[in-house]
Structure 1
Amino acid sequence: MVNKKIQASEENLIHVYNRFPVALERGDGMYVYDTDGREYLDFAAGFAVTGLGYNHKELNDTLKEQIDKIYHISNLYYHENCGEAAKELNRISGMDRVFFTNSGSEANEGALKAARRYAYTKQTGRYEFIAMENSFHGRSFGAVSVTGHDSYREPFEPVVPGVRFAKFNDLDSVKELINDKTCAIILEALQGEGGINLASWEFMNGIRELCDENGILMICDEIQCGMGRTGDYFTYQGFGVKPDIVTMAKAIGNGIPVGAFAMTNDVAEYSLRPGDHGATYGGNPLACTAVKKVIEIFERDHIVEHVRQVAPYLEKRLDELVDELDCVVRRKGKGLMQGLEFNIPVAEINQKTIAEGLLVIQAQGNVIRFLPPLIMEEKHVDEMIERLKRALTR
């Protein structure tokens, strides 16, 4: 029988999402609940968004208070929460200037424009980008143009020209693509949609060196892997490198739609000028209130340190599944961004985990992603493993 609530929500919609047959109504901590009151343990966190979990009272109260004051003004005017949120993002990222957007795709759009504007201002004649195979940077035209999956780009050809793709973790393949037109290299230090692929130390530091040697900007997309998920505020920090431009979104607002791209002063000096870029809702008081409060809670509650403490237990339990079940090929990832590669169709696994009250998500390469809220405890790992094993053996 068709769920009438799901059927009603689908009327008048264009069907571009492969939705699961679940109508979610509310959440609390590590759990979400459907319209029938059924509980689901969430190891997806809305695609790595709800780092602090659901129904966080302190964050909720702060947002409600801001709504009663003002939640939108033109970005022609200042609002103190915007400046304070930007200051905090710069502090934890090591950057110097921030531009707020509404999403991760928009953050990457802004970063690409900033890189080209930098080249234009310095009159270098550079305009090409090097991106990585299996990468994912969003679905807007600029973002999809640097996304390393043909299936995302081909339906919308011709996309933005001047993009070439190197092999992830193959520094020689990057070197072969560099020329006097290359203005920036964009990459994820830990690919999410592409299959949970972690960059090597040599690759990340090699990219930084190549950029320095050739006058190229390094753009790190931290939209999914950033904001504490891998045991540092941003994954590039674990490699000891500093990019020129960083993009972020998702967990910086814990579910409030907000993104940002940040850059060093050296880049900002030659980059975007008034009128070059804009976003009607970018940097609005409500979104910036969320960013500011999320960072405050992360700091006070030592969320990043907590990730470092609990991540090894998640890795251990997933490794046990690799040893125990023939259908599991290997584990890969870092921190609380983990993946299991299977030798059976993962779409079927997703359906079965939902039936067991567990939410996980797929990735390229026959991989299931585990992206729990960062407040996860060991008991939640045990519960997840129990539900996952039931799903895999049913």
Structure 2
Amino acid sequence: MQKPLTSPAPQSPDTPERDPLKPEEKRAVVKRFSTHLNKGQIRYLRAGHLDILERHRTDLGFTDPETGRVMVDCFTSAGCFNVGRSNPAVQRAIEEALTTCDMGSGHLLSEAKIRLARHLTARAPAGLTHLFFAAGGGEAVDCALKLALGASGKTGIIATQKAYHGHTGLALSVNGKDHYRRHFEPLMPGVRFAPFNDLGAVRDMAGPDTAAVIIEPVQGEAGIHVATQAYIRGLRELCDELGIFLIFDEVQTGFGRTGALFAAEHYGVVPDILATAKSMGGGLFPNGAVLYAMNDNVARFLETWPAFHLSYSGGSDIGCRVSLAVLDEIDRLDLCSNARDRGEEFLRALEEIRGENPGIIREVRGIGLMVGIEYIHEFMGPMMSNALAEGGIFAAYSGNAPQVMRFMLPLTVSREEIEQVVEVIRKAIRTMKALLPVALPAAKIPGVLPLLNSEKIQTVTFNWLRTLETAAHLMTRKRRS
């Protein structure tokens, strides 16, 4: 019998969440969430069997208290849990910090800030010698863009199509899909979008008013697209030639995710500014950083406006101690190497699955443990999310490319656990294939494919199916009782 991928964490007798969640309790939780937080999110999650309360969070995932099923977290909140869920060493770091300090003031001197700054700049690509702290990814991108705009005195930004950089002000402005921006425009002016991996398009857009080019070395929300060597090196040469800041958004790719501490290392290229966050906080206390190279323009700007970016919680004493523990765990467990090795094994196995299912899977791609499976139609992403959840895997399709299922396992995953995840994926594909004899012919009917690809229609359909499933389960229970 196949063992669970993770085991529930032990609980003390007085733990309030120790009992299974009864159906009526689950309904009450859902109602309260809908009333006080977000009703639309419940419908969206329920459609994919993801309306789950996370309990017993440990290592690779968590337990669904309603079913008792151990869920493997293959999303990790887009890379927040690189060192695992509830990592004991990181937990000890925050517990020790709480006995001696609080968050601290962002305006004052701090030994914890200094230690982390020295450690990060020593580990970063050569030349990134200074940093600012940020509360999270969006704020880190905001800070990076502000630094480039202020130091250059220019107003233009080049970003990439389908890019995702966060939901805050300037970061939102450089998101490369209209649906993120349209309800909040006008946003920052002067932003232009080039196709990813298209150096010629960037060259055509760049000019004397261009302050910065911002890219993700691996586009996450766009569907796990890895930048080519020629593209990254060409961007570096172009930015040097025209005096443009090159910004890497490594919020998702940083802290070992791609098999190196930062994805920039794979290219032998150093950006002028690098924004990182997510797993920097170990999934326990948020923290982010903007590393940058010092030059004359930056020095002049910071001399005249040293407080151009302030953060309420970025670089807090607690956050910095947590981030130091995260870096120690990455080193102690050699997680960069593990991400490379397990990622290669995962990609090979998924390529085998692709070869077995050419009419379903278009492409498998990724680097390290940042992997995507692209299906031939958008509606297949939500279908797979549903099938994987039933098999005990929490995975998410890409927000900017619903046909792509993203897999971003904790970097602590073992070879045996990768093999078990692969088997669940195989089973989920078999489940999806049982529905395709109806869906695929329907997709060929004019006007039907856009309906199948509609997130709204998918949500309604899968919620209806969940209602039928729930009714069937209740009838089964009544017969047994």
The alignment's TM-score, normalised by the length of structure 1, stands at: 0.95
Q: Which one of 9, 26, 35 corresponds to residue 65 of structure 2? A: 35
- Distance across 2 between alignment mates of 1:74 and 1:10: 36
Are 2:391 and 1:356 aligned? yes
What's the counterpart of residue 3 of structure 1?
27
Q: CA deviation at 1:116?
A: 1.0
**CA offsets 1:201-256 (integer angstroms, 9 cap, x no match):** 11000000000000100000001112111111111110110000000011112112
Are 2:376 and 1:343 aligned? yes
Contact 2:159/2:176 (<8 A) preserved: yes
Judge which range, 201-210 or 90-99, deviates more: 90-99
Greater RCO, 1 or 2 (C-alpha within 8 Å, sep 6+): 1
Amino acid at match of 1:132: T
- Distance across 2 between alignment mates of 1:29 and 1:64: 18
Q: CA deviation at 1:275?
A: 2.9
Q: CA deviation at 1:16?
A: 6.2
- Distance across 2 between alignment mates of 1:15 and 1:68: 39
Contact 2:287/2:313 (<8 A) preserved: no
Q: CA deviation at 1:133?
A: 0.8
Judge which range, 265-274 or 282-291, deviates more: 265-274
- Highest CA radius of gyration, 1 or 2? 2
Are 2:129 and 1:101 aligned? no
Amino acid at match of 1:306: N
What's the counterpart of residue 290 of structure 1?
322
**CA offsets 1:338-376 (integer angstroms, 9 cap, x no match):** 100012421121122111110111113310001000011
Q: Which one of 298, 305, 323 corresponds to residue 337 of structure 2? A: 305
Pairwise CA RMSD: 1.5
Q: CA deviation at 1:300?
A: 2.3
Runs of 4+ aligned structure 1 residues displaced above 6 Å come to none
What's the counterpart of residue 418 of structure 2?
381
What's the counterpart of residue 85 of structure 2?
54
Contact 2:256/2:339 (<8 A) preserved: yes
Please give the residue correspondences for 1:1-394 in structure 2 after superposition, counting only pairs within 5 Å.
3-15=27-39, 17=41, 18-19=44-45, 20-36=50-66, 37-94=68-125, 95-120=128-153, 126-255=154-283, 256-266=285-295, 268-272=298-302, 273-325=305-357, 326-344=359-377, 345=379, 346-363=381-398, 364-365=400-401, 366-394=403-431
Q: CA deviation at 1:167?
A: 1.3
- Distance across 2 between alignment mates of 1:386 and 1:234: 30
- Distance across 2 between alignment mates of 1:271 and 1:80: 26
The alignment's TM-score, normalised by the length of structure 2, stands at: 0.78
**CA offsets 1:7-52 (integer angstroms, 9 cap, x no match):** 3333311446443311112311112112333211121122111011
- Distance across 2 between alignment mates of 1:324 and 1:271: 57
- Distance across 1 between alignment mates of 2:364 and 2:76: 19
Judge which range, 69-78 or 10-19, deviates more: 10-19
SS at match of 1:81: helix
Contact 1:183/1:217 (<8 A) preserved: yes
Judge which range, 42-51 or 203-212, deviates more: 42-51
Q: CA deviation at 1:381?
A: 1.3
Contact 2:346/2:422 (<8 A) preserved: no
Amino acid at match of 1:45: T
More helix as a share of residues? 2
Contact 1:6/1:22 (<8 A) preserved: no
**CA offsets 1:95-144 (integer angstroms, 9 cap, x no match):** 11111111100000000110111013xxxxx2110111111101112111
Contact 1:341/1:367 (<8 A) preserved: yes
- Distance across 2 between alignment mates of 1:249 and 1:270: 27
